[in-house]
Amino acid sequence: MLAPVTIREVMNPTVETIPPDLPVIEAAQLLYEEDIGSVVVVRDGNPVGILTESDVVRLLARQKDATSLTAAECMSAPPITVGVDDALELAVEQFREYNVKKLPVMDGDELAGIVTTTDLSYYLPHLTRKATERPPPTDATAGRRNRTRVDTAYENEAWSFESFGERETHIDLGDVVKFSKTLSADDVQAFADASGDTNRLHLDAEYAAGTRFGHPIVHGTLVAGTISAALARLPGLIVYLSQEVSYLGPVDVGDRVTAVCEVVEDLGNDRYRLTTAVTREDGQQVIDGEAVVLADDIPDTA
């Protein structure tokens, strides 16, 4: 995410509400007819609970008489809420801590909307990903040899890299590679020319001064390109199969960034999954993601 985004910018401002004394059967009909997953239960204008499709299914599974129960008797209460100006990360924390998928959004004392895990997944896939799907961080370089051999066409003294692993000609589980480069104004201009992305935010200081950033920033895709540069310094012929990227913060023109990739899963048939991250020189992480690559043998050019 290249800019701070609040829940106000992500939430759905249209939220269905019902009174606590509404029969559950009528609430279920509303969920079905409106094709929605939840309704907020409101008393005197204040949210007192939330009733979801899961609550209705649970009710039926327990063979309860839905015609005799009210929303107040089946809702989840009190509701877990967030504020319109809260950061998206707070919503993620609430989702995880309370094991819920929908949060009413408050603007002061007023109900302003609702935000769901699906809403956040468009902005923060790295945070909404289940913790079990990604191994915890490790010091994967400990005890591993820093390779000196690379199969790139050329290097530049202004760049730096480290490649940690046991084998010189193939990658293994636990291998780590780091690549660092300063992203200069010349780089930004060259990328704009090569890609056609001439967004004035990156090229026009006067224009950028009026944006939320206050100055030009580097193209996000150019920053992410340092991940590809890091992968190129793993042994073998590394071929991209997929890349998931979340942009966490901007990179100023002239910043030096470091891409770090770690092999975390052997998928078989010379395919590997890697965690990918880019940080600024001040330690602020600006990109988080994952990649899947194919590791072929280096072609014989003799």
Task: Check pLDDT > 50 for residue 207.
Answer: yes
> Are residue 178 and residue 274 in the same domain, yes or no?
yes
- pLDDT tens, 101-142? 899 999 998 999 999 988 877 776 655 554 434 444 445 455
> Are residue 170 and residue 83 in the same domain, yes or no?
no
- Average pLDDT value for the chain: 87
Cα gap 110→112, rounded to integer Å: 6
* Residue 245 belongs to a domain: yes
* Residue 136 belongs to a domain: no
> Are residue 124 and residue 162 in the same domain, yes or no?
no
> Are residue 243 and residue 104 in the same domain, yes or no?
no
277, with CB counted inside 10 A (0-12, 13-18, 19+), is: buried
> Are residue 95 and residue 47 in the same domain, yes or no?
yes
Residues in the chain, overall count:
302
> Are residue 198 and residue 124 in the same domain, yes or no?
no
- pLDDT tens, 32-58? 999 998 999 999 889 999 999 888 888
* Residue 11 belongs to a domain: yes
- pLDDT tens, 232-277? 999 889 999 999 898 889 999 999 999 999 999 999 889 999 999 9
Structural domains in the chain (count): 2
* Residue 2 belongs to a domain: no
* Residue 255 belongs to a domain: yes
3-class secondary structure, 111: strand
> Are residue 241 and residue 289 in the same domain, yes or no?
yes
* Residue 134 belongs to a domain: no
Q: What is the model's pLDDT at position 134?
A: 47
Paired with 17 in beta bridges are: 40
Q: What is the pTM of this model?
A: 0.65
Q: What are phi and psi of 23, to 5 degrees?
A: -60, 140
Q: What is the model's pLDDT at position 155?
A: 92
> Are residue 152 and residue 285 in the same domain, yes or no?
yes
> Are residue 167 and residue 286 in the same domain, yes or no?
yes
> Are residue 121 and residue 168 in the same domain, yes or no?
no
33: CATH: 3.10.580.10
Query: Which of 128, 162, 187 represents a domain boundary (last residue)?
Result: 128
Q: What percent of the chain has pLDDT over 90?
A: 59
Q: What is the model's pLDDT at position 85?
A: 92
Question: Rounded mean pLDDT of 267-294?
Answer: 93
187: CATH: 3.10.129.10
Q: What is the model's pLDDT at position 124?
A: 65
Q: What is the model's pLDDT at position 59?
A: 79
Q: For 183, which DSSP code?
A: -
- pLDDT tens, 3-29? 567 899 889 999 999 999 999 999 999
Task: Check pLDDT > 50 for residue 198.
Answer: yes
> Are residue 229 and residue 195 in the same domain, yes or no?
yes
Question: Rounded mean pLDDT of 152-170?
Answer: 90
Query: Which of 128, 157, 191 represents a domain boundary (last residue)?
Result: 128
* Residue 33 belongs to a domain: yes
Task: Check pLDDT > 80 for residue 63.
Answer: no
Question: In angstroms, what CA-CA distances link 90 with 11, 131, 136, 204, 284?
Answer: 13, 16, 21, 34, 19
Question: Rounded mean pLDDT of 81-106?
Answer: 90
State the SS3 of 233-300.
CCCCEEEEEEEEEEECCCCECCCEEEEEEEEEEEEECCEEEEEEEEEECCCCEEEEEEEEEEEECCCC
> Are residue 152 and residue 22 in the same domain, yes or no?
no
Boundaries of domain holding 270: 146-296
The listed range with the strongest mean pLDDT (87-91, 223-227, 293-297) is 223-227
Q: What is the model's pLDDT at position 131?
A: 41
Query: Which of 98, 128, 158 represents a domain boundary (last residue)?
Result: 128
* Residue 138 belongs to a domain: no
